[in-house]
């Protein structure tokens, strides 16, 4: 059966916008018909990626013109974080399906406003949280939700990586533009913790700072204020806990992302970029009257590389963005709800903002103070 062709517009043609273009080029029955960006060099770079396309996109400077063009069925919003709220306010009244890049917004006030504006809207609004679709992570989540390690108690995520990439005008050097590192970079992880544990966060503790990166940069008398390292502990009503270990001057890593899920019956580990998944069960340890082999022996741990051979473009996120686009397109064609809602996007922003507040005050932050019930 022939798939319904979907016409896409890209608002924001920087590195992430161009990554979306590459994924859409690899996706069946998808065509990019319009581009918009206020930055001429970004528009030109995006147009180059589509130079050989059968249908050449119309290029706009203003996103409002793209939204009003009638050229699109769906729009990908990949502009700088601090512009998301206004672009979304312009996009929500249209009948276009929307995929908005993370973080949804940089403030909870803006997130709340968008949720209110989206009430009753029929076209899809999907917040891009692609980490859940990375093959070993998706397999980890499947096993965990099927009871493969028993009742879940802990989710630990470590990202040890390079500093922030350069952006147009270095807008990502300042928390007022990004929402802060624990929003900009880490809302993915807080969303992942919630997805794995299947419950929202209730309390957040954090310690972090700007220790190494961007300390000698000056922007007309303004110094970058984004933190580059932190520990964040997240509590949940069930008693489960999540923990994030972030360091952005630790590029000398083999697997820079390491996700661990521990239940009362076993443990799962996902490693990126090696795409390795480890799964071990405790079996009858709890019934033993004497100790068996010590931890660290690897006894009973299966290790395998997980990949999806149907992924046509791996890109920057190990195929996750490609799978996310497949799911987004499938939802459009079949009238399905988004897998990541505006409310999901708001909650993971709220956890990141709570972590920043905890660092600033030295106190644990109740999520009820961030998002009143």
Q: What confidence tens digit (pLDDT) does each residue in 208-217 have?
A: 999 999 999 9
Distance CA 333, CA 337 (A): 11
pLDDT digits (tens, 9 = 90+) for 82-128: 999 999 999 999 999 999 999 999 999 999 999 999 999 999 999 99
Q: How many separate helices (H) and strands (E) can be counted in the chain?
A: 12, 15
What sign does the CA torsion over 35, 41, 44, 49 have? negative
pLDDT at residue 134 in the model = 97
- Please report the pLDDT score of residue 363 as a whole number: 98
Confidence band, pLDDT 50/70/90 cuts, at residue 287? low
List the one residue out of 295, 293, 287, 302 whose CA is nearest residue 148.
302
User: pLDDT-based confidence at 295, cuts 50/70/90?
Assistant: confident
**Packed helices 108-117 and 342-361: angle between N→C axes, nearest 10 degrees:** 170
> Is it the case that residue 286 has pLDDT exceeding 70?
no
Per-residue pLDDT reduced to its tens digit, 21-60: 999 999 999 999 999 999 999 999 999 999 998 889 999 9
- The DSSP secondary structure of 39-58, one letter per residue, reads -HHHHHHHHHHTTT-SSPPE
Which strands sit side by side in the sheet containing 74-77, from one edge to the other? 58-60, 30-36, 6-11, 74-77, 97-100, 125-127
Cβ contact 131:102 at 8 Å? no
Whether residue 283 has pLDDT greater than 60: yes
Helix segments in 68-186, DSSP class H: 84-91, 108-117, 135-145, 175-178, 181-184
State the pTM of this model: 0.95
Mean pLDDT of the chain: 95
pLDDT recorded at residue 14 = 95
- pLDDT for the residue 293: 58
Contacts of 320 (CB under 8 A, 6+ apart): 130, 131, 132, 133, 134, 135, 137
Of 282, 262, 275, the closest CA to residue 303 belongs to 275
Q: What is the pLDDT of residues 327-368, one digit of tens each?
A: 999 999 999 999 999 999 999 999 999 999 999 999 999 999
Residues 6 or more apart whose CB falls under 8 angstroms from that of 347 comprise 190, 191, 194, 200, 201, 371
Cα angle vertex 244, ends 231, 162, to 5°? 85
> Could you give the 3-state DSSP secondary structure of residue 295?
coil
* DSSP one-letter string for 222-251: B------EEEEEEEETTS-EEEEEEESS--
Structural domains of the chain, with CATH: 6-131+317-341 (3.40.50.720), 132-311+349-367 (3.30.360.10)
- The pairing of strands 257-263 and 152-160 is antiparallel
Question: What are 68-85's pLDDT values in tens digits?
Answer: 999 999 999 999 999 999
End-to-end CA distance of the chain: 46
The answer to which of 57-66, 82-91, 267-276, 296-305 has the lowest mean pLDDT is: 296-305
């Amino acid at each position: 059966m022939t798939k319904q062709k979907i016409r896409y517009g890209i608002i924001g043609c920087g590195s992430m916008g161009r990554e979306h273009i590459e994924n859409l080029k690899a996706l069946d029955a998808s065509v990019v018909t319009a581009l918009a960006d206020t930055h001429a060099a970004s528009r030109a770079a995006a147009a180059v990626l589509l130079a050989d396309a059968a249908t050449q996109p119309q290029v706009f400077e203003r996103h409002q013109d793209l939204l009003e063009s009638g050229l699109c069925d769906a729009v990908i919003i990949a502009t700088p974080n601090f512009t998301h709220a206004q672009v979304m306010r312009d996009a929500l009244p249209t009948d276009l399906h929307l995929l908005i890049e993370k973080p949804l917004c940089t403030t909870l006030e803006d997130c709340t406003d968008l949720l209110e504006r989206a009430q009753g809207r029929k076209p899809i609004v999907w917040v891009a949280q692609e980490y859940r679709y990375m093959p070993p992570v998706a397999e980890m989540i499947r096993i965990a939700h099927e009871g493969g390690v028993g009742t879940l108690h802990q989710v630990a995520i470590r990202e040890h990586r390079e500093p922030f990439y350069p952006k147009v005008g270095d807008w990502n050097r300042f928390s007022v533009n990004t929402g802060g590192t624990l929003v900009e970079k880490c809302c993915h992880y807080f969303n992942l913790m919630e997805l794995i544990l299947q419950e929202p966060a209730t309390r957040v503790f954090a310690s972090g700072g700007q220790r190494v990166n961007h300390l000698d940069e000056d922007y007309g008398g303004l110094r970058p204020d984004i933190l580059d390292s932190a520990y964040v502990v997240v509590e949940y009503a069930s008693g489960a806990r999540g923990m994030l270990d972030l360091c952005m001057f630790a590029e000398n890593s083999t697997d820079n992302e390491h996700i661990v899920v521990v239940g009362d019956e076993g443990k799962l580990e996902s490693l990126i970029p090696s795409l390795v998944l480890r799964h071990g069960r405790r079996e009858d340890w709890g019934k033993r009257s004497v100790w068996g082999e010590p931890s660290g022996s690897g006894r009973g741990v299966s290790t395998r590389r997980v990949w999806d051979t149907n992924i046509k473009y791996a890109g920057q996120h190990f195929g996750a963005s490609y799978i996310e686009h497949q799911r987004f397109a499938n939802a459009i064609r079949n009238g399905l709800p988004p897998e990541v809602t505006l409310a999901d996007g708001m909650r993971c922003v709220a956890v990141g903002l709570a972590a920043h507040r905890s660092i600033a005050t030295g106190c644990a932050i109740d999520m009820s103070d961030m998002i009143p019930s």
